Structure 1
Amino acid sequence: MRWFIEKRKLWGRGLSAVDVYLLASVVVVPGTTLWTRDKRLRDVAQDLGCRFENG
């Protein structure tokens, strides 16, 4: 997971460990949509080009 955090420059973005695992899952599985109400997680997902929905 550390590799994912460093590669995607996620340090200091206000994400929890669970948030990072969710993002990694969405990145790895094509066509997956992330449902979240968390603004920070949503912003990072958008920056990474992940599909997301406001939950």
Structure 2
Amino acid sequence: MTAAEAAERWRKSSITIRQACTGYKKAPPRFKPDEARRSGATWLITRAGMDRLYGPERGEN
């Protein structure tokens, strides 16, 4: 799924997901290499990566 889709499904801000992909000044990327990759200008993220960092998707039992 795209970073925007992941942000919506897990109810996180888009910038939070993008920073987990890229890292930022004082922190490395939070996703493992097999959980997120860049395709052009779009970040693609696995469900397993989102579950590992943010827990199960909201609305699921």
Larger radius of gyration: 2
Relative to the length of structure 1, the TM-score reads 0.29
Higher helix share: 1
Relative to the length of structure 2, the TM-score reads 0.28
